[in-house]
Each structure stands twice: as C-alpha cells, then as structure tokens.
Amino acid sequence: MKLTRRSSISDVAVEVAEALDRAGVRAVLSGGACASIHSGGAYQSVDVDFILQRYDSLKQIEDAMGSAGFTRKGNQYFHGEARFYVEFPPGPLSIAGDYRIEPAKIRIGNRTILALSPSDSCRDRLAAFFHWNDQPGLKAAVQIALRGKVDLERIRAWSIEQRSGDRFEVFLKEIERLRRQRARRRHKDRA
C-alpha cells in the first residue's frame, strides 16, 4: 500500500506493522492510534505508537521504517505524505504497572496486526483519566466501551486495584448517559 495524505491512521498502522514484521521486529500497536481504531474513529490521534517487543538492532527498525517511507527525526518517524507520525515509546508493554498484557490480533480490512485488545486499550485510556484526570482519556475509553467489545468486569476489578473505583463509576455513568442520548436520537428519528 502506498501511503498518501488521505491515508487513515489505520492505514499507517498496518503499513508500519507489516514493514516491522517483514524485518523480524515484533511490535504491538498501543496508545491513541489503538484507541482510535477500537473506537471506530470516534477518538482521534495524531501519532501511531508501537511498543517494541523483539528486535535485534536499531538498524533493523530504521530499515523497516525506511522501507515504509518513514524517516527518523529525533524519536519520531515521519512520512513524506502521510499526516500521522510514528513513535516507539519505551517498553515493556504495560498499563499502569500491569505487565500481564496479551497482545491481540486485530483485523483491519483484510490484514491483521498485533495491538492492545479493546479492553486493554480502554484501560490504557482510563489510566490517564484515573491518574491525571485526563478528560480526553475518559472520552476515548467511553467510545471504545460503547462499541461493546470490552470486558467491563475485568476493567472494574483493575480499576479497584488502581484505587480508582470511584472514577470507574464516572466512566460507567458516562457510558450510560451516551447510550440514553443515542436511544433518544433514534426514537426521535423514527417519530
């Protein structure tokens, strides 16, 4: 696939994931790009984060990124056409101290990449809300949850471990508020 100005964040994630895989690099999509994909685009990010799990050298990563048309500037990789840049935050893969993260294989079109699961992506965004009162993190987590593919009981248990049971309740109330709002809109549209 040739990346252009019109390429979506999903297109960039797939192109980079496949280039890294061809080079023998195991990397997991995380962060805002992952939240954007799991929220169906309701949440938007400007960058694509991958956590590196297995690679031999920085040159291996540089070559893979170069094959996808990216050039490194500092700690970020930019494409001549695509509007999203790529970063590799330091690992290991974790969410607020939880290192028991199992990457999921997610389908984007007819391709598959390794990424945080919807539940883990939701937890990742909630961690920012829990620890820094990050409102965009809360909104992203809600949008992911509204798509219905998260394990709310697992997230509840984790929230309690994080001493953020009260903030989890805020999250649940926001999900319910948006569900009611959508139901009213559907009812109004039918009337």
Q: How far apart are CA 13 and CA 86, in angstroms?
A: 9
pLDDT 10s digits, 112-152: 999 999 999 999 999 999 999 999 999 999 999 999 789 99
Give the predicted TM-score (pTM) of the model: 0.92
Residue 96 has pLDDT above 80, yes or no: yes
The structural domains of the chain, with segments of one domain joined by +, span 9-115, 119-190
Sign of CA dihedral 188, 43, 35, 112: positive
The CATH T-level fold of domain 9-115 is Beta Polymerase; domain 2 (3.30.460)
Which has the closest alpha carbon to 111: 8, 5, 4, 6?
A: 8
Q: How far apart are CA 33 and CA 171, in angstroms?
A: 21
Amino acid at 153: E
